Structure 1
Amino acid sequence: MNLATPALIFCALFLQEAAASGRASCSGGLCFFQRSADFEVAEKACKESDGQLMRLDSGEHVGALNRLLRPGRFWLRGRANCTAVSVESGPLVSLELEPCRNTLDGFLCLYESSSVCGAVQSSGGTLVMYRTVTGFDVLESETFPPGTLALVRQPGARYPDSKHLCMSTWLQSPWPCEVFQGGCDHGCNKTSNTCTCPDARALHRNNISCMEPTAARPQPETPRCPEGYKPAADGGRCVDVDECAEASDLCTGEGEQCVNLDGRYECRCAQDFVEEDGVCVNTSICLLCEHMKCEKVSGVYRCECKEGYRVSPKNPTECEQECHQRECPAICNSNEALEKKDMQQCYCPEGYIVDLGHGSATCYDIDECKSQKFCDHECENLPGGFRCVCREGYRLQGIDKCVRLHQGGEEEEEEESASGSPPDLASTPVSLQPAAVPSYIKTGSVLGIAVFVVLCLALLVCVVKRSLRRCASLNLNSLKHPDIDIFYLQQITTETYKRLSFDKQFKNDSQRV
């Protein structure tokens, strides 16, 4: 088997730094190492394990980052050379510039997805311990970085069942003697790549351990198991007690889950929960907040909005415009071409209607009390909504119904009387109701109505013009009956009378001739 050169470097590192200790955890190609280090040491540690400091230039690893990090400050590589991610209690994560010589709580390394390994496949009841070449114990991990050693053993057993090395895939010992001495406990034969033992010791059946001659013979006596373990069915070994499976009353707090460990168990916070003051708190909503603002109120995280907005009652992760007056400016999508035509897309809070004109957009309150009858008794219009008010002797039930109050404290629905004047209004105000906007009050409806009115006016103008033309061309002679003479009146003067008399005499003389 021919292993790559980095494996030889791993061997030297292991011999040099085996005394060091720390904690590591990985998800995908991202690994979190918890050990005090300055920027130079952190960058060197990542390179020596065939990785590099994580670059936070995309949201690709944000999910893994939230799962891995513990409260503290950790090195990574940002736009500036020495950048750190600061994690406080809860879901608050921020980037900070740190002097490179500062010692932080750990660092984040990123590896190629093809170079990391998954968990070692082992039989039921066995325990697997993982340790990196730089001395980190890898715990609660989904993946493992190159050069990780995995030791598989039975609980309480003196010798391991097997040993494995991560080199893109798991290699089981003994492997070539040039790398970690083949994984052997004592010696390695470079010719055959097998483990060797000194005189008076025998090679264990795991092919890597050397045992005393007496230990080579099976011991019939039942082992004494430490706390958290119990004798196996064969009576020759100890196996871990799975407290989480055997007891259902463990880790019953909200957001808690039981995790079985070697010889013990722990109560940990489930995904999307973080531990605060010993309690698991749900933080998943903070990743969905529209304005990226999240605050804890009475132990529960809630989204908050920027000034001028409020959390939508329909969706706790969204923000909507807030207005407490009869009119306020609308929120519009920027579009210069549409603005010149007064056709930009603008939005108003619920209970308001937008009015576009002269390059501006204004939200006006809708008077729900005028448009429809929402209340049994009286309706009071308010900015963005309305409220119902009952007369004296009545009590509001729900949002719009008034019920009569009797002396005995009983209530009954109001029965309207055909006569008599209405009683006075009750002085006790009722709660504000959200605006019930009529379905027909929409911007498109208003535009449609306006177009319809213009068309009607145009049609009326055409009809009037046509009628006037017909009257102007009317000929009275066409209305004359054959037996009816039409006479025209004319003012008679002395000259006119003489002329008419002469014309008449001339006409009579002509007829005689």
Structure 2
Amino acid sequence: LWLGLRLALPCTEPAQRLRGFQWVTGDRRTDYSNWAPSGRRCGERCVTVSRELRWEERLCQAPADGFLCEYNYEGSCPRLPPAEGLPVTYTTPFGARGGDFLALPPRSTAVVPAVGLELRCDEEGESGGLRWGRATPGAWPCRLANGGCEGACGEEGGRPRCSCLDGKVLALDGRSCSSPCAGAPCQHHCVVNGTTFLCMCELGYRLAADGSSCEDDDDCAVLPNLCEQVCVNTEGGFECRCHRGYKMLEGRCRPVSRCYEAPCEQQCEDVPDGYRCGCFPGYAVDPRVPTRCLLHCNRSQCPAECDPHTLSCECPEGFLLDNDDNGGQVCMDIDECDMSFCQHNCTNRPGSYECHCHAGYQLLNQIDCVKIPEEDGEGEYSGDFGPRPQTPIPSRTPPKAEHLHPGALVGIAVGALSAALALLALGYHLAKKRCRPPATMDYKCSGPHEKEMGLQPVTS
């Protein structure tokens, strides 16, 4: 078993106390005389206990007989300050006994026979460490460790008594000092008031009837004009808000422009009931998405919109990309009327077209023409909104049918049959041409019934 000794000199000195070794704990009074016979030895040496309980010097790396017990503990009590005429004997939980220990583990005892006092290392001190105490409340003689008092120790009526500094009170053990707020039931804050305490609440709260709890104060009810427009009470405070159409700016409610959040793609204008989107020259508002803008051309030819970085050009719907005489990129209007989309009459417009019907017909799905039933009449509003052709007035009354020559009747029948066949062929031709209905181009047309070709932009 190795001992806690180290060699302070280069060599051992058999004639000296502990042969020149010193305790690693710093103890200078403990000695031992049952050493194994040995002469003077130099170099690194340690001390071990042999089977015969003799101490002997050996090399520190050499194996030693026996075993070493390890005792772990979190804290310890310092030995009591020496007091004249009051010797102390300590006993550890593992059986060690003496008066020269530097620190004692928990559950150690200190006996002072002169005053009949026995202390135990098991009380928790102010700093959280262990300290000496006893089960009996009150102080012991002040000359021994200040009587165990955490504050001051004095004599009253010949008996020791502990006292505490201002702001603290004596605990139940008669030795410890604690704040009156220790263990107080205050919900927010505790304030020492002499030897007692007062509970206080944070701003925005008030003390409840029990004197310790805190209740939220409705600031909006206490101060009605606290906010400019709307006051909302919150836990421990309040929050000012604004009515719809206003925004909190620098602590004030300011009218907010509907265009403030940039809802429009290009231009925005405030109007009494909201906002209105507009577009830059060369663009028009998309009728399907009123906040967006599309390329727009109200002539048969317009400059193309080109990106100098990608060298790609774009045209509005209903236009084709082409080169002008100077080598520039232009957008040329497509004449949709050349494609015979309309059943009767057609009017070409920039980027679109418009169908019209003859008198006695009305426009259906903005392309086809259907005859108006006889009972509806053919008044002023029959047919489409386009120009209405005028029917010439005959110079004389046509002859009655019963006076016509049979050959004339045959000619009329053949002509009617030919006209029917021609109309049937024209209908078949138009059905083949109309692969799909044209897309709406309301933003390019002036009338509510105008249509367009669904052509896509072409890049160069």
TM-score by length of 2: 0.32
- Larger relative contact order (C-alpha < 8 A, sep ≥ 6)? 1
Larger radius of gyration between Structure 1 and Structure 2:
2
Structure with bigger helix share is: 1
